[in-house]
């Protein structure tokens, strides 16, 4: 067993191996504060057949016992991973994947199990450290270790590896993952932070990334003295004969096809023409061609590798040598943009955002507070009132495939668009609605998540949600031969994403950044100076898109859709909540039945009324206000008779509040009391006493001017 204990940013970091999960290829137990995760890595002995990409899977297993919780719902055990667990798995997968060499096709499975959480030190950070160290212990050709650190910003000061409670009041939630030289992955949510401040945070973060790597290196060195890693791994290298034949036969045609601007035409030609050229060339070669055909057919993975490398090389030459792009745009030029709002008549808000051949329909639905998403996981957050859901149907890329539930990619893209908009969503006090946004990708050719962000802004404004400022997003790509010869590309399309080296998504307002996500395909990561250039390039593009949004809809609509629920809010004394609800919910149920509204009551006295029309909502609000009123001695009320007894009548002066009008407190009666007053009659009364038991005693003395006044079954019928 090997254990390393070191201080890291004010807390003890413990790395341990050799005790738990010993039949895995490697395993590392990580402890930071009172959070503990177990990371296991299993690598297949042989490359997977027909794999043409790294068969890496990362799973994040949250155990509810880690936080002393029992899962909610009917089945009291963990089932499918929560959205949080899926996002955490992606956070570990994304920086690790590009650090394996081309041609490595052994199956790799990483399972991260949260064993204990103090809900202050995030398990995903421990998972990154443990996965990095565990991979290095296997002897696999992994370009690690990698370090990771979180950064927050409060009152202008950076905090490194902040506690989760500190992040709640922060203007920045930044995760940086990198090697000692470069950044490999970034995940960010920010409150309109400036590019300058963001870059400063990246530079500081890299200092602690290097420190984290040094700790891992010390642990790995200690462990390797006792653990002999399995080093018999295969990296597939293309056969020189296959490489030469495919290049000679198809290079010029692929160079031509990659410059076709229309995606569907380009993909159609790419799927047919290179294979036709190869077939013709093989036929011309005679017997030698048949031998080569057999080699090609027995090595389909190698053939794919050759085509991929060649297409990447052609894109690199177009950008770096010809100084243009495959579709002819300038490096910083956006594709044509169009915006449209108010498409759907019955939804609460809708918009279509189109950028080139990427098109997204976004729809907003407004609901009551009771429709907030309940979160059942290991985090502190229990519910959320703003949700963004992203769908990527097969027709958006011209494919046929079965429709399934949302995959990891859909959940990740939805979470990114949600992060981008959260900083501008109005507070519950200002806009007490639950807000659900759904983005359906109708057409895809690069950067659908950022198109969803732009579409969300349009749809929210169309729905009348008073967002603080419009948000736009853009993806910046990278093509390079080295750290000295490179170009960043604004608004990357599909082939620039597939064959380029970076997908750097930046969203924000004109004021500053709200969300960032960086993924890279570079084996050694991306230097900060390239990211600096990309950030300012994105700012220019973002401002152009926001101007287009504002041309379409200059401000959030002043009124909501007629089909959206109306919300009326009021605040009462918490002591009055019991009166408003009534025994067994009798009072509140009666109001709901009479007015056909929904009512949510918070423990602090906030009450929200949801109605499909103004009148019903106002009536319900008035009824609640009446109940919440304090009854005062000396006050005059117009009440309704509820019961008649020989000794007096009971009068409901406020909803749920009855008082006794004793015969001794009435004017002289001209007949039996049950002949003069009937249940349902309206009478004018005054509270003359509230006794020490809370009983309300009423009087009519002084309210009736003459004994000859006609007895009233409904007071002042003339008003009606």
Structure-model confidence comparison of residues 343 and 287, the more confident one: 343
Q: What is the pLDDT of residue 375?
A: 79
Is a pLDDT exceeding 90 seen at residue 277?
yes
Is a pLDDT exceeding 70 seen at residue 710?
no
Q: What is the pLDDT of residue 714?
A: 36
Yes or no: is domain 337-478+528-552 CATH 3.40.50.300? no
Model pLDDT for residues 372-416, shown as the tens digit of each residue: 888 777 777 778 999 999 999 999 999 999 998 899 999 999 999
What crossing angle do the helices spanning 448-462 and 528-552 adopt, rounded to 10°?
30
Model pLDDT for residues 473-484, shown as the tens digit of each residue: 999 999 999 999
Q: What is the pLDDT of residue 675?
A: 85
CA atoms within 13 A on the CB side of 306: 22
> Cα(641)–Cα(661) distance, rounded to whole angstroms?
10
CA atoms within 13 A on the CB side of 505: 28
Tokens read off for 506: 């930046």
Average pLDDT over residues 122-136: 97
> Cα(62)–Cα(58) distance, rounded to whole angstroms?
13
Is a pLDDT exceeding 90 seen at residue 470?
yes
Give CA separation, 289 vs 305, 513, 529, in Å.
Answer: 21, 57, 49
Structure-model confidence comparison of residues 41 and 705, the more confident one: 41
For the range 369-372, what are the long-range contacts, defined as Cβ-Cβ under 8 Å and sequence gap of 24 or more?
369/428, 369/432, 369/433, 369/434, 369/600, 369/602, 369/608, 370/434, 370/598, 370/600, 371/434, 372/434
CATH of region 636-719: 2.40.50.140
Q: Which burial class, exposed, middle or buried, applies to 405 when counting CB atoms under 10 A from its CB (0-12, 13-18, 19+)?
A: exposed
pLDDT band of residue 644 (cuts 50, 70, 90) is very high
Architecture of domain 566-628: 2-Layer Sandwich (3.30)
Do 141 and 108 meet the contact criterion of CB atoms below 8 Å apart? Answer: no
Q: What is the pLDDT of residue 78?
A: 83
Q: What is the pLDDT of residue 247?
A: 96
Structure-model confidence comparison of residues 634 and 217, the more confident one: 217
Closest CA to 660 of 646, 676, 671: 646
CATH of region 2-224: 3.30.230.70
Q: What is the pLDDT of residue 719?
A: 37
DSSP-derived secondary structure letter, 187:
E
Model pLDDT for residues 565-578, shown as the tens digit of each residue: 888 888 888 888 88
- The least confident of 26-35, 52-61, 482-491, 706-715 is 706-715
Is a pLDDT exceeding 70 seen at residue 318?
yes
Average pLDDT over residues 544-554: 98
Average pLDDT over residues 597-616: 88
Q: What is the pLDDT of residue 668?
A: 79
Q: What is the pLDDT of residue 704?
A: 59
Structure-model confidence comparison of residues 428 and 177, the more confident one: 177
Do 130 and 219 meet the contact criterion of CB atoms below 8 Å apart? Answer: no
Is a pLDDT exceeding 80 seen at residue 349?
yes
Model pLDDT for residues 646-690, shown as the tens digit of each residue: 899 999 888 778 899 998 888 878 888 888 889 999 899 999 898
Model pLDDT for residues 192-246, shown as the tens digit of each residue: 999 999 999 999 999 999 999 999 999 999 998 877 677 789 999 999 999 999 9
Model pLDDT for residues 165-175, shown as the tens digit of each residue: 999 889 999 99
Mean pLDDT computed over every residue of the chain: 92
Is a pLDDT exceeding 60 seen at residue 708?
no
- The least confident of 99-113, 167-181, 224-238, 555-569 is 224-238
Q: What is the pLDDT of residue 717?
A: 36
- The least confident of 83-87, 313-317, 400-404, 668-672 is 668-672
């Amino acid at each position: 067993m090997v254990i390393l204990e070191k201080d890291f940013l004010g807390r003890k970091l413990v790395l341990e191996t050799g005790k738990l999960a010993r039949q895995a290829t490697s395993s590392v137990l990580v402890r930071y504060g009172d959070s503990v995760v177990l990371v296991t890595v299993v690598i297949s002995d042989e490359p997977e057949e027909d794999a043409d990409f790294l068969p890496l899977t990362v799973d994040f297993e949250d155990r509810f016992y880690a936080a002393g919780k029992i899962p909610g719902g009917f089945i009291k055990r963990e089932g499918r991973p929560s959205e949080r667990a899926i996002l955490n798995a992606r956070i570990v997968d994304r920086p690790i994947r590009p650090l394996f060499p081309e041609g490595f096709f052994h199956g790799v499975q990483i399972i991260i199990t949260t064993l204990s959480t103090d809900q202050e030190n995030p398990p995903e950070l421990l998972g990154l450290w443990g996965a990095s160290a565990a991979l290095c212990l296997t002897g696999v050709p992994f370009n690690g270790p990698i370090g990771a650190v979180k950064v927050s910003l409060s009152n202008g000061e950076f905090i490194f590896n902040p506690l989760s409670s500190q992040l709640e009041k922060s203007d920045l939630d930044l995760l940086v993952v990198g090697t000692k030289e470069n950044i490999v992955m970034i995940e960010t949510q920010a409150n309109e932070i400036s590019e300058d401040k963001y870059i400063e945070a990246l530079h500081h973060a890299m200092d602690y990334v290097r420190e984290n790597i040094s700790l891992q290196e010390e642990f790995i060195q200690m462990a390797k003295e006792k653990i002999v890693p399995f080093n018999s791994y295969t990296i597939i290298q293309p056969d020189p004969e296959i490489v030469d034949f495919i290049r000679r036969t198809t290079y010029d045609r692929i160079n031509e096809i990659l410059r076709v601007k229309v995606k569907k035409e380009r993909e159609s030609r790419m799927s047919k023409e290179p294979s036709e050229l190869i077939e013709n060339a093989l036929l011309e070669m005679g017997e030698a061609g048949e031998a080569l055909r057999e080699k090609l057919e027995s090595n389909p993975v190698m053939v794919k590798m050759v085509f991929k490398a060649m297409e990447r090389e052609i894109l690199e030459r177009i950008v770096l040598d010809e100084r243009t792009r495959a579709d002819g745009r300038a490096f910083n030029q956006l594709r044509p943009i169009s915006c449209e709002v108010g498409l759907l008549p019955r939804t609460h808000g809708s918009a279509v955002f189109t950028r080139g051949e990427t098109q997204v329909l976004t729809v907003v639905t407004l609901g009551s507070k009771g429709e907030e998403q309940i979160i059942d996981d290991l985090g502190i957050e229990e519910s959320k009132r703003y949700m963004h859901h992203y769908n990527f149907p097969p027709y958006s890329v011209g494919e046929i495939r079965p429709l399934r539930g949302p995959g990891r990619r859909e959940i990740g893209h939805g979470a990114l668009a949600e992060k981008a908009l959260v900083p501008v969503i109005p507070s519950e006090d200002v806009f007490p609605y639950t807000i659900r946004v759904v983005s359906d990708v109708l057409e895809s050719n690069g950067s659908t998540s950022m198109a969803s962000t732009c579409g969300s802004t349009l749809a929210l404004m169309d729905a009348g949600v008073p967002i603080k400022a419009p948000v736009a997003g853009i993806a910046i790509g990278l093509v390079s031969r080295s750290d000295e010869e490179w170009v960043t590309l604004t608004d990357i399309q599909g082939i620039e994403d597939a064959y380029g080296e970076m997908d750097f998504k930046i969203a924000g307002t004109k004021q500053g950044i709200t969300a960032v996500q960086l993924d890279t395909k570079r084996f050694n990561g991306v230097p900060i100076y390239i990211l600096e250039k990309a950030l300012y390039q994105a700012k220019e593009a973002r401002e152009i898109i926001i101007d287009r949004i504002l041309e379409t809809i200059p401000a959030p609509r002043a009124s909501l859709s007629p089909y959206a629920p109306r919300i009326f809010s009021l605040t009462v004394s918490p002591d009055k909540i019991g009166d408003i609800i009534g025994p067994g919910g009798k009072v509140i149920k009666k109001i709901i039945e009479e007015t056909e509204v929904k009512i949510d009551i918070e423990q602090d006295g906030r009450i929200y009324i949801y109605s499909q029309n103004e009148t019903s909502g106002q009536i319900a609000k008035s009824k609640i206000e009446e109940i919440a009123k304090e009854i005062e001695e000396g006050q005059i009320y117009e009440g309704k008779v509820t019961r008649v007894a020989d000794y007096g009548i009971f009068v409901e002066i406020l909803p749920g509040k009855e008082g006794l009008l004793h015969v001794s407190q009435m004017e002289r009666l001209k007949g039996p009391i049950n002949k003069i007053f009937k249940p349902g009659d309206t009478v004018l009364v005054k509270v003359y006493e509230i006794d020490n038991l809370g009983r309300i005693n009423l009087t009519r003395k002084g309210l009736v001017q003459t004994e000859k006044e006609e007895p009233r079954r409904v007071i002042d019928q003339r008003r009606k």
